[in-house]
Amino acid sequence: MSSWEIIQQSLPMFEKGFVLTLWLSLIGIIGSIIVGLICSLLQYFKVPVFHQIATIYVEISRNTPLLIQLFFLYYAFPVLGIKFSAQVCGIIGLIFLGGSYMAEGFTGGFNGVAKGQVESGKAIGLSRWQLARYVVFPQGFSLSVPAMAANVIFLIKETSIFTVIAIPELTNTALDLIGMYYRSNEYLFVLVVAYAIILIPLSIILTLIEKRVRYGSFGN
Amino acid sequence: MAHSGISVLLEGTNFTRLLGGLFVTIKIAAVALITGLILGVILGVLRTFKNRLLRLILRLYLEFFRIVPTVVLLFLFYYILPRQLNFNLPADQLATLVFALWVAAEMSDIVRGALISVPKHQRESGLAIGLNRYQLYRYVLIPQAMTLEIPATINLATRVIKTTSLLMLISVMDVINVGQQIIEANNHTHPTGVFWVYGLIFLFYFLIDYPLSWWAKRLEKRRLERANG
Percent of chain B with pLDDT over 90: 52
B198 domain-assigned:
no
Total domains, chain B: 1
pLDDT digits (tens, 9 = 90+) for B39-86: 999 999 999 998 999 999 999 999 999 999 999 999 999 988 887 777
Instruction: Please tell me the predicted confidence (pLDDT) of residue B200.
Output: 92
- Give how far the C-alpha of residue A7 lies from the chain's centroid of Cα atoms, to the nearest Å: 30
B118 domain-assigned:
yes
- B72 in reach of chain A (CB within 8 A): yes
Are B194 and A79 in contact (CB < 8 Å)?
A: yes
B196 domain-assigned:
no
- A161 in reach of chain B (CB within 8 A): yes
Are B72 and A164 in contact (CB < 8 Å)?
A: no
Q: Is the dihedral of CA B89, B93, B98, B102 positive or negative?
A: negative
- Averaged confidence pLDDT in chain B: 89
Cα–Cα distance for residue pair B198/B192, rounded to 1 Å: 11
Domain containing B41 equals 26-172+214-228
- B166 in reach of chain A (CB within 8 A): yes
Interface confidence (ipTM) of the complex = 0.88
| pLDDT tier for residue B4 given thresholds of 50, 70 and 90 | low
Instruction: Please tell me the predicted confidence (pLDDT) of residue B9.
Output: 77
Higher pLDDT, B4 or B194: B194
pLDDT by residue, tens only, chain A of 220 residues: 788 898 989 999 999 999 999 999 999 999 999 999 999 999 999 999 999 999 999 999 999 999 999 999 999 898 888 889 999 999 999 999 999 999 999 999 998 888 888 999 999 999 989 999 999 998 898 889 989 999 999 999 999 999 999 999 999 999 999 999 888 889 999 999 999 999 999 999 998 988 887 765 554 4
Q: Which CATH number goes with the domain that contains B80?
A: 1.10.3720.10
B96 domain-assigned:
yes
Segment B189-213 mean pLDDT = 90
Q: How many CB atoms lie within 10 A of CB B222?
A: 11
Segment B105-133 mean pLDDT = 91
Cα–Cα distance for residue pair A28/A91, rounded to 1 Å: 6
B133 domain-assigned:
yes
B130 domain-assigned:
yes
B85, B172, B67, B167: which is closest to A170 by C-alpha? B67
B18 domain-assigned:
no
For B206, the closest of A63, A111, A112 (CB atoms) is: A63
pLDDT digits (tens, 9 = 90+) for B209-218: 999 999 998 9
Chain B partners of A171 at a C-beta cutoff of 8 Å?
A: 69, 71-72, 75
Q: How many CB atoms lie within 10 A of CB A127?
A: 10
Chain B partners of A80 at a C-beta cutoff of 8 Å?
A: 195
B101 domain-assigned:
yes
Cα–Cα distance for residue pair A212/A170, rounded to 1 Å: 32
Chain A partners of B83 at a C-beta cutoff of 8 Å?
A: 184-185
For B194, the closest of A69, A76, A192 (CB atoms) is: A76
- A158 in reach of chain B (CB within 8 A): yes
B153, B162, B152: which is closest to B209 by C-alpha? B162
- B195 in reach of chain A (CB within 8 A): yes
pLDDT digits (tens, 9 = 90+) for A42-66: 999 999 999 999 999 999 999 999 9
Return all residues near B90 (Cβ < 8 A) that are at least 6 apart.
Answer: none
Which domains are assigned to chain A? 3-215 (1.10.3720.10)
Output the 3-class SS for chain B. CCCCHHHHHCCCCHHHHHHHHHHHHHHHHHHHHHHHHHHHHHHHHHCCCCCHHHHHHHHHHHHHHHHCCHHHHHHHHHHHHHHHHCCCCCHHHHHHHHHHHHHHHHHHHHHHHHHHCCCHHHHHHHHHCCCCHHHHHHHHHHHHHHHHHHHHHHHHHHHHHHHHHHHHHHCCCCHHHHHHHHHHHCCCCCCCHHHHHHHHHHHHHHHHHHHHHHHHHHHHHHHHHHHHC
